[in-house]
Amino acid sequence: MALVTTAEVCDANPQLIVSGELRALQPIFQIYGRRQVFSGPIVTLKVFEDNVLVREFLEEKGNGRVLVVDGGGSLRCAILGGNPVVQAQNNGWAGIVVNGCIRDVDEINGCDIGVRALASHPMKANKKGIGEKHVPITIGGTRICDGEWLYADTDGILISRAELSV
């Protein structure tokens, strides 16, 4: 997918868009990290103002996967910071998409990984370990399931039920 843009994927696959097999996330995300283009199979996580499970996932080997975190859209604290992003980069994650806030933006922008989030916030998250792993999540009206595929570039983010061959 490195040479094909999300716009080209949409133009080439109108039938997948009509059927709902290919969906675009609402354009609500800021772009962070050095990798502006990334893709991979999705791992889902649902948390609210708590980052324990986010850190646990990113401590695992990523194997080119993308962690998609539904943080409830909270703008009250950051659920992802520089240290876990460095760990994710070193563990082979392709990217992280956060429906919530991040912090340590300068550190994250130095990492060779794709990160999308709503905004940055200086306050840290709670550490209670509350959340749900590998569950269907909804971000901006788009349902996202564990095992689907994510394709991101500077035009936006696509979710596909299956890996796209382009």
Annotation: binding site: 81-84, 103-104
Give me the number of domains the chain comprises.
1
Q: What is the per-residue pLDDT across 97-155, written as a single tens digit (0 to 9) for each?
A: 999 999 999 999 999 999 999 999 999 999 999 999 999 999 989 999 999 999 999 99
Largest pairwise CA distance in the chain: 45
Annotation: binding site for substrate: 81-84, 103
Q: What is the per-residue pLDDT across 10-67, written as a single tens digit (0 to 9) for each?
A: 999 999 999 999 999 999 999 999 999 999 999 999 999 999 999 999 999 999 999 9
Q: Are 22 and 16 in contact (CB under 8 A)?
A: yes
164 within a domain of the structure (yes/no): no
Q: What is the per-residue pLDDT across 71-105, written as a single tens digit (0 to 9) for each?
A: 999 999 999 999 999 999 999 999 999 999 999 99
Main-chain phi, psi angles of 104, to 5 degrees: 65, 45
User: If DSSP codes are grouped into helix, strand and coil, which group holds residue 18?
Assistant: helix
163 within a domain of the structure (yes/no): no
136 within a domain of the structure (yes/no): yes
Three-state secondary structure readout of 67-96:
EEEECCCCCCCEEECHHHHHHHHHCCCCEE
pTM of the model: 0.96
pLDDT, position 1: 42
Main-chain phi, psi angles of 158, to 5 degrees: -110, 145
Structural domain for 78, as ranges: 4-158
Annotation: binding site for Mg(2+): 104
